[in-house]
Chains A and B, each alone.
Chain A
Amino acid sequence: MKYGRVAYGGAVHHCTPTPDDRVRLEDGRVVDDSAVVWLPPLVPRTVFAVGLNYADHASELSLGTQQEPLVFLKGRGTLAGHRATTRRPAGVAFMHYECELAAVIGRTARNVHRDQALDYVRGYTVANDYAIRDYLENYYRPNLRVKNRDQATLLGPWLVDAVDVGNPSGLDLRTLVNGTVTQTGNTRDMIFGVARLIEHLSSLMTLSPDDVILTGTPAGVVNVDVGDEVVTEIDGIGRLLGYVVSDPAPATPAVGG
């Protein structure tokens, strides 16, 4: 099964897809997918992200591979749903998307071995985890100013049951900017697959239902500009659409003092 969450008619609804790609609300109404405001398919508890988890992307950034996953966290203000608009600050040179498989934890996990780790996954969705590299600083890198922008972490449209996905390794993923493919990869090329990420994270802390793990992106990130339509899609999981929009206020330098 696939599940979504939308705003429609003045309220938030859970929904499922119809065979002809429309949206069936939990009360039975069927509406066009453009008639709803898409929200992330769940309200995440903790959102983990993993950097440099595809060898090709790591080399793209001139960085070596890691002994253990490079993990960082996100706050709630950065989350947005399918068809979201994401602001590009005026004057920046390099804002890029990142197409990522997102795994959603379904039950409490602590010190889980990789062989059992996938049993703790409730389902998967697609993420587009934007970065604005102009703001990269070498403190707790990648810093939140790069990776925790408002509405810059898109999730959706659907949360797909893990049982319907089976092995999360071997899924083709790609990004299209204005219809042109700019990024391709396959989840089998992750350095740390979903099971190993759960093993690692659950060795450090207790994972809980609705924790979300963004598993990293392969090579092929390019700059996007105001007006661009960005599609990140993963076969069998979904096709997540977003738009880059202008930012009315210029970024101001953040100075010490």
Chain B
Amino acid sequence: MPVIVSGGRGAVASSSLPCGGAGLASESTGPAAFNPLIPLRFRGLVQTAPQTVNMLIMSAAPELRHGRERAAIAPVDGSVYGVVLNFRADIDALGDALRQPPYLAPPRAPVLYVKPANTWSADGDDIPLPAGAELVQVAATLALVIGRVACRVDASRALAHVASVRVVNDVTLPHASVYRPAIRERCRDGFCPMGGPVAVTDLAALLARARFRTRINGAVQQDTGAEMMVRAPASLLAAVSDFMTLLPGDLLLLGAPRQSPTARAGDVVTVEVDEVGSLENRIVRSAEQSS
């Protein structure tokens, strides 16, 4: 059974939780409390300060929760990396363009980007449309939260370096070219809503069967899974760790197709990953949009 740990500033009152957090204190003896890969910060909270920690079991079929209270974001204790072109559909769509200028050759190593701190937000936060934009692309994905230093790890053991997972809505402005880093498109304020870390007992099995669903106003617009990826999660983590060390607390997002659904002002976007959880965020016009 998955367990959500939301601690520190991220703790929310159990009365505001959609499924209720009361009566679940016994869960503090569950896998999260003893998983050595859970960052010490969370373990300490679980073990010594249960009053600041809510642990709850998410419903298997989350419903839209319009108007639910805004949750503070669970801490991010590292860098957040995303990956583009990790879906076979993206490679197929580019086709021969991969060998034409400006790309000249298909990608060899994973193509990464950084989601900086200004993008980090929580379940329930508004996603502001940047000035001049009418549409954003939204996509459910999963973040692997590194629990143990991952340097040149083998794919067969890569997932042992993961402490937990978090549901993420990886938001971007649509962009046709992947030649230059997409700072303008991917790094806008509020463009990375994240759920709290969830400890998983059999991560490989979960990743193999998990569906990453993106809903707009309740209707499923995208449904992806590891079988659609160029590199499955363990291989991706291994390939990244081949050229840069991932540190405990870093997040590696598993990516989304480049043709992810678009949303506009007023739309409510839900991202959900089976057995992990869901996020619900509304697209809003920002104050600067009137200019």
Contact = CB atoms under 8 A, between A and B. Distances in A.
A9 interface: no
A117 interface: no
Interface of B is mostly: loop
Contact of B183 (A71, A76, A256): A71
A144 B187 contact: no
B273 interface: no
A11 interface: no
Interface string A80-102: 00000000000000000000000
B37 interface: no
A171 interface: no
A253 interface: yes
B180 A141 contact: yes
A140 B112 contact: yes
B246 interface: yes
Indicate the member of B78, B102, B243, B245 with the most A CB atoms within 10 Å: B243
Contact of A206 (B108, B111, B189): B189
Interface in B101-137: 102-114, 116-119, 130
A143 B109 contact: yes
Contacts of A76: 78-79, 247, 250
Interface stretch (A17-25, A131-139, A177-185, A220-228): A131-139
A169 interface: no
Interface residues on B, range: 35 or more
Contact of B239 (A71, A207, A249, A254): A254
A74 B114 contact: yes
B244 A254 contact: no
Contacts of A61: none
Interface string A185-205: 000000000000000000011
A73 B231 contact: no
B203 interface: no
Interface of A is mostly: loop
A139 B244 contact: no
Contacts of A45: 116-117
A256 B78 contact: no
A139 B84 contact: yes
A149 B244 contact: yes
B29 to A, nearest CB: 33
B181 A111 contact: no
A256 B81 CA distance: 19
A185 B57 CA distance: 59
Interface of B: 78-79, 81, 84-85, 102-114, 116-119, 130, 151-152, 178-184, 187-189, 230-231, 235, 239, 242-247, 250, 288
20 contacts: A46-B118, A72-B183, A76-B79, A77-B245, A77-B247, A78-B244, A138-B102, A139-B178, A144-B244, A145-B109, A148-B244, A149-B243, A150-B151, A204-B187, A205-B187, A205-B188, A206-B189, A254-B239, A254-B242, A254-B243
Interface of A: 45-46, 70-78, 111, 135, 137-145, 148-150, 204-208, 249, 251-257
Closest 8 CB pairs of A and B: A75-B79, A73-B114, A46-B116, A254-B109, A72-B181, A139-B111, A144-B112, A145-B243
